[in-house]
Structure 1
Amino acid sequence: MQLASKNEKRKDGYTSSMAEFDLVMQTTKSGTHDSESCLKEETCLPLGGYSVWSALPPINVSLGNQSKPVILVTASMDSASFFRDKSLGAESPISGLIALLAAVDALSHLDGLDDSSRQLVFLVFTGEAWGYLGSRRFLLELDLQSDAVLGLNGTLIEMIVEIGSVGKSGGPGAKKYYAHTAGASSVTNKTLDGLKRAQDSLGSDQVKITSASSANPGIPPSSLMAFIKKNTEISGVVLEDFDTAFVNKFYHSHLDDSSNINSSAIATTASLVARTLYILASDEKNLSTTSLSTIKVNISLVEQLVGCLLSCDPGMSCELVHSYISATTACPSNYVGVILGEPSSTPYSGAVADISRFLWNFLADKTSVPMVNLNSTCSEGCSDRGGVCIRAETDQKGVCVISTTRYVPAYSTRLKYESGTWIVLSANASDPMDVLDPIWTESNWDAIGLRVYRVQDASYDRLVLLGGTAITVFAYLVILTARTIITKAMKQD
């Protein structure tokens, strides 16, 4: 950048700086024509990362079996585009993610959720842009009852509420939202009724939520599809800002940036979701509009999240993110990335992307309860007391809180990490999830090289050419003249 700036200032200079990049992916090894072969030769790594889930209120794992029905609230954190590091995905899917975070924040200020009849669980997937890696792996972890889902019983999931693309509903006229449903059940009807009651509680004619057209062939592309593949009886609602046709013309494009969304629409979505979840969790039919109106979304938080997650200024160096983690770069990238090392429910921070680490800390903070009569610093053996350590990256001390927040590895269900290498498992024909699960990989990058050198300006090249031509012509004329003079002198002699 400095050299480019110098070139710009030195428009009439004699020389300018040039750069030559050596950027090569290791795809040239013989026989590595697909994911299985390149993983075997260790010239690539599987796409993936870490999803994050958190329970509100925290689940007391020591009590054994949990009996409360679970309302699972989901969103996605990753996108894709031709330029992977420009995969912001503002409308699809980050607008839904921001709405989820703002709803969690609003609900975290309420009292009485401990006595609710249903357990709220918030889950943010990564890898959904690549064959729904996150949701497929999450369902497998549930089947295996691994440490990544400790405290969560898949059989208790009663309803799934997914927040999709919601950042473009703030156009001219009313903010319109559409509920795409799966499973015609009493639970689905309760959820739709809760959405209607939440809409009425906002007291505005400018907010409208309706059921999506029955003529639709099904739900739009979403994580809920993976759950339906696993269990066709599951009930779910996908909240979107479109009905029969997709409205995001920049889907999976680098143009899907912050200018493609409306922060007020996201804040309205967060209010709808937070109030709906409170209605469903409390299971009270006589909740007054007054009690619902106390659930307020922090508009400034929504705007902060837009600036942090969807731009380079301030980007991941914003005050909100910096209060939780030390980001590796200011410019956010919502590309899923690759799995580094052995997948774990407690990975070391260097193996987890900035966005996932921020979400883990944010959700753990918002869904937590403070340690009672105990030192809150992490140096006192936080995990031994059933707590988690948040903000540890910022001050090297952290704060110990009680929270059920976990990382879930997200990668193909047909992969297994064993003895330091990835092994591709055969597809199980009897399992519809297994047959459809692709194995996405990214080739290893060679060492990136850069050579900088100076070249003279093209105008001087032309001047040299012109001067050389003139000298050549002049020399030719001199030779002709000398030859003529010598010839005449010879004749006279």
Structure 2
Amino acid sequence: MGGGSVASLILAIACVFQAFFPPVASGDAATLESVPDLVKAMYINVESFPCVRLLNHSGQIGCSNPGHDKIIAPIVRLRNRNDQLVQPSAVLLPLDQMTDFFLRVSNDPELYRKIAGVLVEANGADSVLEFSPDRKFPQQAFAPYSNLSHHWNPAGSGIMWNKYDFPVFLLSEESTQTLQKLADKNEKTPNGYLANVAEFDLVMQTTKAGTHDSESCLREQSCLPLGGQSVWTSLPPISNSSKKHQKPIIMVTASQDSGSFFRDRSLGADSPISGLIALLTAVDALSHLHDMSNLKKQLVFAVFNGEAWGYLGSRKFLQELDQGADSVNGISSLLIDQVLEIGSVGKAVSQGYPLFYAHAAGNSPISKKMIDVLQSASESLGSDNVQVKPAASSNPGVPPSSLMSFIGKNASTSGLVLEDFDSQFSNRFYHSTLDGPANINSSSIAAAAALIARSLYILASADLPIDLITLNSIRVNVSMVEELIECLLKCDPGLSCGIVKSFISPSNSCPSHYVGVFQDLPAGTQFPSYADDISRFIWNFLADRTSSLASNSSSCTGQCRDEGEICVGAEVEGGGRCVVSTTRYVPAYSTRLKFEDNIWHVLPVNSSDPLSAADPVWTESFWNTIGLRVYAVQTTAYDWLVLLIGIIITGASYLAVIVGRSYISKIIKRD
């Protein structure tokens, strides 16, 4: 072989090597100064929100890796709704296709087997007309009537109540753009030369432990009960002397938690946070009145936690009343005369004026009187033109609400729920990630707060003559409504807003309205160690607005010295202040659970509680870490090709050496 032939061979080998192993750009090489730099360059951690595994007394729902290990799969799109996957893949899914896709997955075993994970895009929400992963009749097992076919939530698909043995993540807007680019690269790359893959770390402890329902996972300690802290207060405070001459109670309730397919994206702007904001604003308006103690009835406000998961808060509150627990000291279920619940009130503005519907429990004279009072209060608002109508008589009963717990406990309960809908939810995004601040109207919430505040004054006056001057002086702080929307439903400013930080030191600026898990000991709940930011803010706000000054208003960081006093704003810098207020935490978890010997036990169905059999006993699985990252990998075929090329290069190099040595030897001999 001549010198020209050898040179040509080496040049060809070099060209092939360079084609398959392109050099690293000098700029990139300069930045890779350590192993962490290399890892950061190779892997992209994806900002996302997981769907997690929940358990109840009969099984499981939600999402999890199917085994004990991470899942790695190429990122693909299904361009057509009926496309099949050719291999296990991570499906990048537009939000507006989520309902149809998961309904299809539940009925297509072949597709189910090929799904390694699902990545739901965040953008495109503007084109979604309706999306609710809850059922058409949410929590129908608790309904105090037999007609369960009514579709309160016509947009409901029920997909959040199924079990998925693959991970599902909702992407942030920025992550959505990143994943879309990677999916495009996968589509454009010929013959699978390179693959951009997603690595899912969503291994649930209940999967590892093999526990498949709440009782077994609590026994093996691979889960915790869903729950948190509810809050109640009275206006005016209930003093020791007034306990001897207790008044009939008007209970005013709202909920603070929402549900969602994705654990940490439970916003619930209209359902139920609009009602919570209306309650807080109404309390603020009433707190400016004098001589509330002269009214015939006692106002008690309660904000329940865990209502989206079997009415945990309201049912536990009623159980605590039955047991005479310290958490409800000062009130009695026998004294509850009326229940007024503030439901979804964020979408009542239509045709230029707010229109609300009163859903009454039965046809009792007291319930009818409550509707009359609401209409009188609306008339007193004059030019604000707030209107109230009784809900349609064709409705089967009250809509899904905490009032169902009260009726289930006492069928003769007189009460109503104020809503922004008549026969069907006006909220087309019920219990979905799209029920955000853009889904509500602050003027609607302010109108509801004004209506509630004036109605409560009239109801609490009972047969006393109504002081019209006082009634007309009840005005709501519209700016507070707008601020609370910013605080409780957005990340900026979120819980870093002024009104929240004047009471607590939040752990996170982004609010979450998922109930979470109950971590406190059931005893001693007046000083819970794990109350979430929202519960602590509600407690401090209500304690402040319903309080009277203490005899010695000294600063405090915990308990106050005198009986009946509590410390408001204890978390803020400089400490809080002692005030006289009847504000309490109440634990919110399943009434079928008992904590004994440092472990949770599931109790048998309580025959004296009509709703006990309907209690799902929700728990949430433990996990070590939850993560999602993406990176590029080579296909197996490409690895074999690289190996083959390596062998060829090695052989060619060896041959080149032999030929070169032979050629050099011949030249030396000639010389």
TM interval, short-chain normalised: 0.7 to 0.9
1:423 paired residue number: 601
> How far does the alpha carbon of each residue in 1:106-131 deviate from its partner, in whole angstroms, 9 at most, with x for none?
00001120100000000000000001
1:347-358 to structure 2, matched below 5 A, reads 347-358=526-537
How far 1:457 moved relative to its partner? 12
CA RMSD of aligned residues (A): 3.4
The question of whether the paired residues in 1 share the 8 Å contact of 2:487 and 2:493 is answered with yes
Q: Residue 207 of structure 2 aligns to a residue in which SS?
A: coil
Decide whether the 8 Å contact of 1:316 with 1:331 is kept in 2: yes
Equivalence map 1:281-320=2 (5 Å): 281-283=460-462, 286-287=465-466, 289-320=468-499
1:270-327 deviations in whole A, cap 9, x for unaligned?
0000000001112256435543221010011101100000010000111110000011
Q: Decide which of 413, 422, 433 is 1:254's aligned counterpart.
A: 433
Counterpart of 1:371 in structure 2: which amino acid? A
Structure 1: which amino acid aligns with 2:588? A
Q: What residue number does 1:490 align with?
A: none
1:401 alignment partner AA:
V
1:275 lines up with 2:454 in the alignment: yes
Does the 8 Å CA contact 2:558/2:567 hold for their aligned counterparts? no
What is the rounded CA distance, in whole Å, between the counterparts of 1:303 and 1:99 in structure 2? Answer: 11
Q: Distance in 1 between matches of 2:431 and 2:490?
A: 16
Q: Counterpart of 1:371?
A: 550
2:569 counterpart of 1:388: no
Letter of the aligned partner of 1:186 in structure 2?
A: P
- Secondary structure, in 3 states, of the residue corresponding to 1:227? helix
* Counterparts in 2 of 1:282 and 1:448: CA distance versus 1, 3 Å: same
Give 1 or 2 for the bigger CA radius of gyration: 2
Distance 2:615 2:458 in 1: 36
The question of whether the paired residues in 1 share the 8 Å contact of 2:525 and 2:587 is answered with no
The C-alpha deviation readout for 1:237-268, integer Å capped at 9, x for no partner, is 10001001111110000100000000010000
Deviation at residue 17 of structure 1 after TM alignment: 4.2
Q: 1:411 to 1:151 in 2, by over 3 A?
A: same
2:624 corresponds, among 423, 442, 446, to: 446
Please show how residues 103-122 of structure 1 align to structure 2 within 5 Å: 103-122=282-301
- Residue among 324, 338, 352 paired with 2:517: 338
TM-aligned CA deviation for residue 396 of structure 1:
5.4
Deviations 1:178-200 (A, max 9, x none): 00001322322221121111101
The 1:457–1:358 alpha-carbon spacing in structure 2 relative to 1, beyond 3 Å, is farther
Matched with 2:187 is none
Count of equivalent residues: 471
Deviation at 1:32, TM superposition (A): 1.3
Which residue among 352, 364, 376 is the counterpart of 1:173? Answer: 352
Q: SS at the partner of 2:512? A: coil
The 3-state SS of whatever aligns with 1:214 is coil
Counterpart among 592, 605, 625 of residue 414 in structure 1: 592
Report what 1:362 is aligned to: 541
Contact 1:345/1:409 (CA < 8 Å) preserved in 2?
Answer: no
Give the whole-Å Cα distance in 2 for the aligned partners of 1:219 and 1:175.
21
Q: Return the letter of the residue paired with 1:389.
A: C
Report the residue type matching 2:451 in the other structure. L
1:46 aligns with 2:201: no
Give the letter for the 1:82 counterpart: F
Partner residue in 1 for 2:379: 200
Deviations 1:17-61 (A, max 9, x none): 414664422013455111001101111100000000000000013
Partner of 2:268: 89
Residues 43, 444 of structure 1: 8 Å contact kept: yes
**Aligned-partner SS, 1:65:** helix
Distance 1:379 1:318, change over 3 A: closer
Q: Distance in 2 between matches of 1:326 and 1:22?
A: 31
AA aligned to 2:509 is: A
Distance in 2 separating the partners of 1:83 and 1:347: 31
Q: Deviations over 1:112-164 (max 9, x none)?
A: 20100000000000000001111111110000010010001110100000000
Tell me the distance in 1 between the aligned counterparts of 2:603 and 2:557. Answer: 41
Alignment partners' CA distance in 1, 2:42 and 2:284: 50
Identity of aligned pairs, percent? 56
Deviation at 1:366, TM superposition (A): 0.2
Counterpart secondary structure, 2:299: strand
Query: Equivalences for 1:127-146 in 2 at 5 Å?
Result: 127-146=306-325
Counterpart AA for 1:24 = V
- Counterpart of 1:436 (choices 598, 608, 614) is 614
Whether contact under 8 Å (1:51, 1:410) holds in the other structure is: yes
- In 1, the alpha carbon distance for the partners of 2:300 and 2:526 equals 21
Contact 1:342 1:420 in 2 (8 A): no
Q: Is the contact made by 1:120 and 1:281 (CA closer than 8 Å) also made in structure 2? A: yes
Q: TM-score of the superposition, structure 1-length normalised?
A: 0.87
| In structure 1, C-alpha distance between the alignment counterparts of 2:563 and 2:542, rounded to whole Å | 19
Residues 61, 150 of structure 1: 8 Å contact kept: no
CA distance in structure 2 between the aligned counterparts of 1:378 and 1:205, rounded to whole angstroms:
42
Task: State whether residues 275 and 445 of structure 2, in contact with CA within 8 Å, keep that contact through their aligned partners in structure 1.
Answer: yes
Aligned residues of 1:392 and 1:398 also touching (Cα < 8 A): yes
Partner residue of 2:331?
152
Structure 1 stretch 340-349 or stretch 313-322: which is displaced more? 340-349
Structure 1 contact 13–457 (Cα < 8 Å) conserved: no
Q: 1:57 aligns with which of 225, 236, 240?
A: 236
Tell me which amino acid in the other structure corresponds to 1:390.
V
- The within-5 A match list for 1:447-466 is 447=625
**1: CA distance, partners of 2:232 / 2:457:** 19
Whether the 8 Å CA contact 2:559–2:567 is kept in 1: the answer is: no
1: distance between equivalents of 2:518 and 2:559? 28
Contact 2:520 2:529 (C-alpha < 8 Å) held by counterparts: no
Say whether 1:210 aligns with 2:389: yes
Mapped partners of 1:247, 1:53: distance in 2: 28
Cα distance, 1:248–1:385 mapped onto 2, change above 3 Å:
same
Distance 1:345 1:265 in 2: 39
2:264 counterpart SS class: helix
Distance 1:383 1:438, change over 3 A: farther
1:325 to 500, 504, 526: 504
1:196-251 superposed Cα distances (whole Å, 9 cap, x missing partner): 11101111373211100111100000000011011011100100010011111100
Alpha-carbon spacing, 1:31–1:381, altered in 2? closer, same or farther (3 Å)? closer
Q: Is the contact made by 1:340 and 1:351 (CA closer than 8 Å) also made in structure 2?
A: yes
After the TM superposition, which of the residue ranges 253-262 and 382-391 deviates more from structure 2?
Answer: 382-391
Tell whether the 8 Å contact from 1:180 to 1:238 is kept in structure 2 after alignment.
Answer: yes
Do the aligned partners of 1:92 and 1:165 also contact (CA within 8 Å) in 2? yes
> Distance between the aligned counterparts of 2:445 and 2:632, measured in 1?
51
Deviations 1:373-424 (A, max 9, x none): x243226961533200110000252110000000000001010111211111
Separation (CA, whole Å) in 1 of partners of 2:577 and 2:277: 24
TM-score between both structures, scaled by the size of structure 2: 0.65
SS of equivalent to 1:28:
helix
